[in-house]
Structure 1
Amino acid sequence: MFFLNGFHQNLETIISISKYTSSNQCFNNTASLKTAYIKTLKKIQPNTWQNHSFSKNIYDHKIIESLLSSFSQQESFSKENIHKSRLEYTEKASMKASLSRIDSALSQLKVKAPQIYDLFFLVVNTLFYWRSVNQSGGSTSNAIGVIWVSNRKNWNLWDTIEFLVHEVTHQLMFLDELRFIHYKNYTEINDPEKFSLSAILCKPRPMDKVIHSLVVGFEILSLRQHLNTSEYSFSLHPGYNKLKEDCIETIDSINSTNKKHNLLTAKSLEIIEKINFQLKGL
């Protein structure tokens, strides 16, 4: 969402969402905006634990268990994939070792893409590590502001930075969906006959997941150009040319599905059109 919309448009969305529960029409500093943002999240997702501390990293097993329950409510994160039953075996030492690599990547992101870092700081309140055999972590609209981390030892620094940008893109998309309606009917998009091809998983998925995948794919391609890492080897995401081809194929799939079923609002169509145009310059 950073490369698609720029810093200020994303910031406007964060401010707009934060005003839901604040009488302030303007925020004097980042701290006041952050406080209002967390208050809004508490209102719209009252059953999700909110982190009010300065540190984003969480190690408390009870808190993590409650957060995992939010993830397990979403189709993408089954309890089998999350391995919730093995929670007791994820020791704090493992959590700290993995999150220290995340912290190192965040430090590099702050240097190399400071505005992405600033958006990350604003919208992400909680990072927790939990080992999963099948997944590398993720985000869910059931717990906006929370990122589950299950990073791999074979990830290099650039993989980890891409993971952070991948997840903050989801977070910013969640907020954009709160501010603007993206779909005409949320029941219809879950109909398997109306699925489209995901740019990340390369399989048919519900339209909201597919558009998220397209935006993530575009952001990763743009990040590689920004960091001049397009020729590097990656473990988390496909190579540059493959990812670009997958994004183009996903756009065709989305447009074909929408032509048949009329699922998308003007806002979603605008996102797709912008990506389609900007991909030509990548």
Structure 2
Amino acid sequence: MLLQTSLEKQIDNLIHIVGRQYPQKLDQIKDENSLKQIYHAYLEDVQKRKIEENDYGLIITNYDKSSRLLDIFNGDSAALDDRNQKEAIVKQVSENIIEQKDIIEKTLKIMKNEMIDYYNLFKLIITNIFIFPSHVSAGGSSSTAIGTIWANINLTRSTNDVLELLVHEFAHNCLFIDEHRYRHYDYNTIFNESTWATSAVLLTNRPLDKVLHSIVVSLEVMLFREHFIGHPNDPKIHPPTELLLNQIKESIESVRHSAKKNPMALKSRSFDILDNAEYHVQKI
């Protein structure tokens, strides 16, 4: 989401949510480290999760720590878990967990060297990356565990594919924080399947919160390609650029159509995000 807004706006979101929770601590925010400490306190208070001590930088490989994260990660409402994603992650140690850790570390070093603002915000917002196997997905994020990324890295993937995965999941987390600040949906309304729209990632009807996320993360990947790595010929994590661009457009149109029929489903901030997405799509 950083590439769709700015570093300043993402930092402002963080300061706003922690300042609303702890107004007496606003004066204590002097730099990145002090903001991170208050942000961690916010996650512990609001989401009732302990920030795990890291084994390797951001990356957790300890089974017990990863299991605690997964339990919180899987805590989302079943009514909006339309694809039974709780069953996607297998709670067991990956056979190649050290190799996966090494790939993620290598990828983060590239992000640091080539995308320093992105890396600094990533390190501020992402508290833990944990690794568990899956037969269906390469990774994920959860609104019940803001700051965490679950990873399941195929060792044959290129560095750019893994970068795209991290960019994708980081965008989810930024959007979760944005929702904590602004509120995006009326959840009582979007439980109703008649409000669902077409996902930019899966091209199936999904709840509006999932679809808005699909638009934002797909666009973030597009902008990442545009600004940093170029548009790949044979990407493995996401579709080729032309196809992905068409899917984003279709998804935006589907959300707008649903919103016209269900005017209570989305709050004003969601329309701001859609408008911004359309602006960037037209520029690519």
Match of 2:22 in 1: 21
2:283 is paired with a residue whose SS is coil
Letter in 1 for 2:141: S
Look up the match of 1:2: 2
Offset at residue 229 of structure 1 (A) = 1.7
Cα pair 1:126 1:145 within 8 Å, conserved: yes
Offset, 1:269: 0.4
Whole-Å separation in 2 of the counterparts to 1:187 and 1:227? 40
Residue in 1 that maps onto 2:94: 90
CA deviations 1:250-271 (Å, max 9, x no partner) are: 0110000000001111111011
Matched, 1:56 2:58: yes
Stretches of 4+ aligned residues off by more than 6 angstroms? none
Instruction: Measure how far apart 1:79 and its partner are.
Output: 4.1
What residue number does 1:254 align with?
A: 255
1:69-110: CA deviations, max 9, x gaps? 2233332554432123xx1x535xx22210211111111111
RMSD between superposed Cα atoms in Å: 1.6
Structure 2: which amino acid aligns with 1:245?
A: N
What SS does the corresponding residue of 1:128 show, helix, strand or coil? strand
Using the size of structure 2 for normalisation, the TM-score is 0.92
Report what 2:241 is aligned to.
Answer: 240
Equivalent pair of 1:154/1:235 in contact (CA under 8 Å): no
**What is residue 176 of structure 1 aligned with on the other side?**
178
Query: CA separation in 2, counterparts of 1:95 and 1:35?
Result: 29
| Distance 1:79-1:265 versus aligned 2 partners, 3 A rule | closer
Q: TM-score, normalising length from structure 1?
A: 0.93
Q: How many residues get paired?
A: 275
Shift in Å at residue 154 of structure 1? 2.5
Corresponding residue number in structure 1 for 2:124: 122
State the partner residue of 2:194: 193
Q: Name the CA shift for 1:25/1:80 in 2 (closer, same or farther; >3 Å).
A: closer
Q: Assess if the C-alpha contact under 8 Å between 2:160 and 2:229 holds in 1.
A: no
Aligned 8 A contact 2:197 2:258 in 1: yes
Unpaired segments ≥5 residues, structure 2: none
Instruction: Determine which of 153, 160, 167 is the counterpart of 1:158.
Output: 160
Amino acid paired to 1:209: K
Report sequence identity in percent. 28
Q: Is the 8 A contact 1:200 1:213 kept in 2?
A: yes
CA distance in 2, matches of 1:78, 1:228: 30
What stretches of structure 1 of length at least 5 have no aligned partner? Answer: none
Q: Distance in 2 between matches of 1:70 and 1:265?
A: 27
Distance 1:34 1:245 in 2: 38
